[in-house]
Structures are given as C-alpha cells and as structure tokens.
Amino acid sequence: MPTPYGTRGGMAFSADELRVLRRALAIALQPQSVPRRPGPERDEEVRDCLLLMEAVDETAREGGRLRAFLLADLARYRAALPGAAPGYAERLQDALSAGYRPGAEDLAALRALCAVPSGDAETDRRRALLHRCERLAELSVRARLADRAAAAPAQRAPEPSHRRTRLLAVAGGRAAGADAQEPKPKPAAKPERKPAPDAPPGKPPTGPRPDRPVPTPGEVFPPRRKPAAPPASLAPEARPA
C-alpha cells in the first residue's frame, strides 16, 4: 500500500506497486497492447490494478487526515502564544515548506511576536518568518484575483452592438433579383377627423321664400257665404185683422 509523503498529496510506492502503475499507464496510452482474449495473466493484471486503485484512494484519504492534523496542531500552538512561540515558529516553517499558505491569523500572531522583547537571534528569526509569510500571502491574494478576473469574461454575456452595419453591394445581386419588385412603402395613416361641433340653430326667415308665389287677396280673405233661408214650416203664421 502506498504511504503519504508530505502534506501536498505526495505518495511513496513500493517496487511492485510501481510495476502495476507502469502497466496501467501503458494500457491507458496504448490500448492495442491489451490481448483480445482473456486469460489467467490478464485476470491477474486486472486484479492488481483494482487493488492498487483502492490503495491509492486510501492513501489520499490518509494524506488528507494528516494535513488536517498538522493544521489543527498549528492552530493549537498559535492559540497558546506567546508562551508557545518556539513551537509555533517551528510548526509554521514546516507547514510553509509543505505548501501551506499563511492567513490573517498567522500574520497577526507573528507581528505580535516581533513586538515581544527577545534575543537578537530570536528576533531576527521571527522577522524573517514574518517577511516570508507576508510575501506568500500577497502571492496567494494575487493568484485568487487573477483567477477571478480570468473567470469573469467567460460568465459575462456578450453585449449587443448598437452600431449600424454597413450594407455592401454584391456583384449580380440586384440583377438576379430583377423580377422581384421592391416592396412599396405603406401610405401614411391619415389622421382621424374630429366631428365638427354642432352649428347653432339659425334664425327663422323673415321674408317670403323665393320659390313660393305670393298669395292673392281672395286666398287670404275668402268670401263670406250668405245664410240659407229658413224652411216654410218654420215661418210665422199671419194673424187676421
């Protein structure tokens, strides 16, 4: 089984494990080298590759547990400052050599240690460690900003261009479409007419209408009819003298 090497995910393999690893890489690069017909040798080869895969996975998990333990140990020594200054500086140097990137807590702890009175050698050691951590922290921040800047254009949608595209004449384009009539522009819509306001009633005419004749006096004043004579039966009888 491989063993973890360092805190960066490194692994140490034995001679047999390296042989199986080389064979697996050769199969991945040259699949035609695998025999078409299965046999005892092929079965053993597959079994060795599966066992190595399981061992590599377990070693990766063990390396993660080791890194978590070292970081927890560093945090314990940092919390015990300033009394645990020698142990904290030693573990911080080991973590930096293994790829650890110092954080704000480490920078604050080192600045506090540099302010504590100590010997010249210890003071120079702490200051050198502080400068190293500051440089690594700055590089880490710049790398994160560069990654964000590189990922930002990919997520941003392309903006539509508001410029008008120039139309270029193509040879034979108008002649080929001579039969096609150009669309006529639509006539402009006529404005709606508003109804005219009601005209005020006119005055009645005072004079006679020109198309009507003037009436005669007989039509204006018709003749009176004579009253009819009463019947004889109703006449008064003559009395004798």
How high is the pLDDT of residue 172?
A: 58
Segment 145-190, tens digit of pLDDT: 888 888 776 555 555 555 555 655 556 555 555 455 555 666 666 6
Residue with tokens 């005055």: 203
pLDDT at 131 over 90: yes
37, 41, 46, 47: CA torsion to nearest 10: 140
pLDDT at 76 over 90: yes
Rounded CA separation 6/180 (Å)? 79
Segment 19-66, tens digit of pLDDT: 888 888 888 888 877 777 777 778 888 888 888 888 888 888 888 888
Dihedral (CA of 117, 122, 124, 125) sign: negative
8 Å CB contact between 89 and 125: yes
Give burial (CB, 10 Å; 0-12/13-18/19+) of 118: middle
CB atoms within 10 A of CB 201: 6
- What the block records as the tokens of 88 is 């904290």
- pLDDT-derived band at 107 (thresholds 50, 70, 90) equals very high
- pLDDT-derived band at 241 (thresholds 50, 70, 90) equals very low
Higher pLDDT, 236 or 104: 104
How high is the pLDDT of residue 143?
A: 86
How high is the pLDDT of residue 147?
A: 84
Higher pLDDT, 159 or 74: 74
pLDDT at 207 over 60: no
